[in-house]
């Protein structure tokens, strides 16, 4: 597949992460454009990646094969209506949380060449995971183009149904916050046991990232790895018994279900005309 020209509408953190990933993968800055209202954000993107930026949509800015909508969900309806006059046959990739394709397509004037993506913030470190969904009318080539874009910042997976996006939002979209929450708790516990703040942070971070790396490289599931660390009558067993008594696993499941429910609510709220 040859070089594809891509325009980002919105030049925030996620757009910056994707542009950085694409450039690192050898994409020429000449093939990347950004429409961004904020002058400081435009200057930063130009200086860092040498890409062309625009203050508003116009024909030469929107003439790319692919347009990535990376604006806040609340701005999407207005942005979509501004884009309508410039659309011909571009592939539109939306990374706005909660915006359903039926609503986006309607705002774009019954436009159908759409892919919806839920990335997550570890994309900023090139370690994201993005779920993609495209309706039946989107071609295999267009799907491959969307996947190439998101592979620039991490792993990708395709969904069979758009309503699965609520689960994705709750698990991997919000998920980094759950991980940070656990790291915070481990850090707090280390300090409560008398370690200094610097040692507590190092131990919490390295233990979490090391265990995650071990799990991702292992052929065995996390349950097996957990059992292997848990000697009968030992310290780990005592800690895990305490977690089980406090029903921490159940609480985590309930928390993720609450996030999924909120994702469904936001889809309903954001999709109103």
Instruction: For residue range 167-199, list pLDDT tens digits in order.
Output: 999 999 999 999 999 999 999 999 999 999 999
Determine, yes or no, domain membership for 202.
yes
Residues 154 and 192 in one domain: no
pLDDT in tens, 85-116: 999 999 999 999 999 999 999 999 999 999 99
Residues 85 and 204 in one domain: no
Determine, yes or no, domain membership for 140.
yes
Which residue range(s) make up the domain with 85? 6-160
Q: For the chain, give the percent of residues with pLDDT over 70.
A: 99
pLDDT at 254: 98
Residues 186 and 138 in one domain: no
Residues 131 and 204 in one domain: no
pLDDT in tens, 109-167: 999 999 999 999 999 999 999 999 999 989 999 999 999 999 999 999 999 999 999 99
Residues 74 and 195 in one domain: no
pLDDT at 64: 82
pLDDT in tens, 45-97: 999 999 999 999 888 888 889 999 999 999 999 999 999 999 999 999 999 99
- Indicate which CATH number applies to the domain containing 238: 1.10.3730.10
Encode the chain in three state secondary structure. CCCCCEEEECCCHHHHHHHHHHHHCCCCHHHEEEECCCHHHHHHHHHHHCCEEECCCCHHHHCCCEEEECCCHHHHHHHHHHHHHHCCCCEEEECCCCCCHHHHHHHCCCCCCEEEEECCHHHHHCCEEEEEECCCCCCHHHHHHHHHHHHCCEEEEECCCHHHHHHHHHHHHCHHHHHHHHHHHHHHHHHHCCCCHHHHHHHHHHHHHHHHHHHHHCCCCHHHHHHHHCCCCCHHHHHHHHHHHCCHHHHHHHHHHHHHHHHHHHHHHHCCC
Residues 56 and 107 in one domain: yes
pLDDT at 192: 98
Residue where a domain terminates, one of 109, 136, 160? 160
Q: Does residue 1 register a pLDDT over 80?
A: no
pLDDT at 201: 98
Residues 203 and 103 in one domain: no
Residues 225 and 116 in one domain: no
Determine, yes or no, domain membership for 272.
no
The number of distinct structural domains making up the chain is 2
Residues 96 and 214 in one domain: no
Give the pLDDT band (50/70/90) at residue 2: low
Residues 153 and 199 in one domain: no
- Indicate which CATH number applies to the domain containing 142: 3.40.50.720
Residues 11 and 140 in one domain: yes
């Amino acid at each position: 597949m040859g070089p594809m020209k891509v325009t980002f509408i919105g030049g925030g953190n996620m757009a910056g992460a994707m542009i950085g990933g694409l450039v690192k993968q050898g994409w020429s800055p000449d093939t990347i454009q950004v429409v961004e209202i904020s002058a400081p954000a435009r200057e930063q993107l130009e200086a860092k990646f040498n890409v062309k930026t625009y203050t508003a949509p116009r024909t030469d800015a929107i003439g790319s094969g692919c347009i990535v909508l990376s604006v806040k969900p609340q701005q999407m309806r207005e942005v979509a209506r501004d884009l309508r006059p410039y659309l011909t046959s571009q592939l539109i990739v939306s990374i706005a949380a909660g915006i359903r394709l039926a609503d986006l397509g309607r705002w774009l004037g019954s436009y159908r060449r759409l892919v919806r993506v839920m990335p997550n913030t570890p994309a900023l470190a090139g370690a994201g995971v993005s779920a993609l969904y495209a309706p039946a009318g989107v071609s295999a080539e267009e799907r491959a183009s969307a996947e190439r874009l998101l592979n620039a910042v991490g792993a990708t997976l395709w969904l069979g149904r758009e309503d699965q996006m609520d689960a994705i939002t709750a698990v991997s979209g919000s998920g980094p916050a759950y991980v940070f929450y656990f790291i915070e708790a481990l850090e707090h516990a280390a300090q409560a046991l008398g370690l200094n703040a610097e040692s507590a942070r190092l131990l919490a971070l390295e233990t979490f990232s090391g265990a995650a790396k071990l799990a991702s490289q292992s052929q065995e599931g996390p349950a097996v790895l957990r059992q292997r660390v848990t000697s009968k009558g030992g310290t780990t067993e005592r800690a895990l018994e305490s977690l089980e008594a406090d029903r921490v696993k159940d609480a985590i499941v309930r928390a993720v279900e609450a996030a999924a429910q909120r994702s469904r609510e936001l889809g309903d709220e954001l999709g109103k005309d």
